[in-house]
Amino acid sequence: MSKLLILYTGGTIGMDYTPHGLAPVAGYLPRQLERLARQGVSWDVVEYPQLIDSSAITIAHWRQLVADIADAYQRYDGFVGIHGTDTMAYTASVLAFALHNLQKPVIVTGSQLPLVHPRSDGWNNVGVAIEAACQSDLHEVAIAFDNVLLRGCRARKVDATSFAGFDSPNAPPLARFGIAAHWQRSLWRQNRGEFRAVLPQEQDIRSGFLLPGGMAAAFGRWLAADTPHGALLFSYGNGNTPEEPALLEGIRAASAAGCVVVNLTQCPRGAVEVGAYAASQPLAQAGAVSAGDMTPEAAQAKLLLLLSQGLSAAEIRAAFGRDQAGEITLD
Ligand code: ASP
């Protein structure tokens, strides 16, 4: 018998049509979940008092979610987070970096169409999430969506119109579901050591998406003028940027002042590979650390959780390049 805790944060799945568009309806989703009852599994549901469209997610919501899972960790066999799709991959990444030595499944899901819609994908998504949360050897935070189970810190929302809303472009799925469930157990992480949760704290993390033209210089000036705790720079291809003095000077100044600057690729697939091109060297020399093939969601979450532990900038830069939750390919 598996005992699960279902944490309902909001999202399309539990929304209804209103004159202003889809909006969450308190109490509706927990009642509907009773229709999925089956032998061998039981659950408790926590419905948060403020159900949100996930575009409104904050660090405080994440802190609450991490604290609630940590408090309930010993009492349940697995956890299901019900969440809007817009920021689901961000939340899954935060959970992956906040829950250290996780030895139980934590599955996040939602839907593209609400349960009130006759063709809602929510039933199947929650059904798959519950089945995954009953796998006691799944020591992962994962997203269950449209018949795939994806590592949470590798997943991205890739489609806002089809049911196949998520993908993990740089990592294979942890399971696929047809009539049978195809669990890819050889890919699952084996965590040892004592479970421990790190609560995310407010941090000033900025991001800049490089565009041809004046953007590189503008980003550099922004960093130099107002040093944040961390910054994500979305560069081209394998981590390439123009050799723009204001950009490099901004990164140097911010890094010297303790800001952790991360170089991420704008490409949906592939990695920053420092040294592949001469154009990737200046950023590294100025002090930016490479995100490798991490997703933007994972990079933000990893930086946030490292900053939340009170480490020095040098310790964070070193830890950022190491694999923690299966988020990066190291060769
Ligand atoms: N805007 C919704 C949300 O993220 C989208 C969804 O759940 O599919 O809350």
The last residue of one of the domains, among 150, 167, 197, is 197
Compute φ and ψ for 78, nearest 5 degrees. Answer: -165, 170
Enter the tokens of residue 66.
């991490």
Together in a domain, 62 and 147? yes
pLDDT at 149: 99
By the 8 A CB rule, do 311 and 83 touch? no
Query: Is the CB of residue 112 below 6 angstroms from any atom belonging to ligand 1?
Result: yes
Together in a domain, 45 and 174? yes
User: Rounded to the nearest whole angstrom, what is the distance from the C-alpha of residue 290 to the centroid of ligand 1?
Assistant: 31
Report the C-alpha gap between 256 and 129 in whole angstroms. 45
Q: Which residues are known to be catalytic? A: 12
Say which CATH number the domain at 146 has. 3.40.50.1170
The last residue of one of the domains, among 148, 171, 197, is 197
Task: Answer whether residue 307 is part of any domain.
Answer: yes
Query: Is the CB of residue 230 below 6 angstroms from any atom belonging to ligand 1?
Result: no
Identity at 206, one-letter amino acid code: R
> Looking at the 3D structure of the chain, how many domains does it have?
2
Together in a domain, 88 and 153? yes
Pocket test for ligand 1, best of 9, 85, 125, 156 (most atoms within 8 A of CB): 85
Query: Is the CB of residue 85 below 6 angstroms from any atom belonging to ligand 1?
Result: yes
Together in a domain, 188 and 215? no
Query: Is the CB of residue 165 below 6 angstroms from any atom belonging to ligand 1?
Result: no
pLDDT at 285: 96
Cβ-proximal residues to 162 (8 Å cutoff; 6+ apart), any chain: 112
How many C-beta atoms lie closer than 10 Å to residue 302's C-beta? 27
User: Rounded to the nearest whole angstrom, what is the distance from the C-alpha of residue 113 to the centroid of ligand 1?
Assistant: 9
User: Rounded to the nearest whole angstrom, what is the distance from the C-alpha of residue 161 to the centroid of ligand 1?
Assistant: 12
Together in a domain, 150 and 28? yes
Query: Is the CB of residue 84 below 6 angstroms from any atom belonging to ligand 1?
Result: yes
Task: Answer whether residue 135 is part of any domain.
Answer: yes
Cβ-proximal residues to 171 (8 Å cutoff; 6+ apart), any chain: 150, 151, 154, 326, 329
pLDDT at 278: 87
Query: Is the CB of residue 68 below 6 angstroms from any atom belonging to ligand 1?
Result: no
Together in a domain, 17 and 151? yes
The last residue of one of the domains, among 136, 170, 197, is 197
pLDDT at 80: 98
Nearest CA to ligand 1 atom 1: 53
Query: What is the position in ligand 1's atom list of the atom closest to the CA of 11?
Result: 9
Full pLDDT tens readout for the chain, 331 residues: 999 999 999 999 999 999 999 999 999 999 999 999 999 999 999 999 999 999 999 999 999 999 999 999 999 999 999 999 999 999 999 999 999 999 999 999 999 999 999 999 999 999 999 999 999 999 999 999 999 999 999 999 999 999 999 999 999 999 999 999 999 999 999 999 999 999 999 999 999 999 999 999 999 999 999 889 999 999 999 999 999 999 999 999 999 999 999 999 999 999 999 989 989 899 999 999 999 999 999 999 999 999 999 999 999 999 999 999 999 999 7
Task: Answer whether residue 292 is part of any domain.
Answer: yes
Together in a domain, 103 and 177? yes
Together in a domain, 256 and 162? no
Cβ-proximal residues to 134 (8 Å cutoff; 6+ apart), any chain: 2, 4, 40, 41, 77, 78, 105
pLDDT at 331: 77
Task: Answer whether residue 325 is part of any domain.
Answer: no
Query: What is the position in ligand 1's atom list of the atom closest to the CA of 112?
Result: 8
Task: Answer whether residue 34 is part of any domain.
Answer: yes
Q: Which domain holds residue 283?
A: 205-320
Give the three-state DSSP class for 97: helix
Task: Answer whether residue 331 is part of any domain.
Answer: no
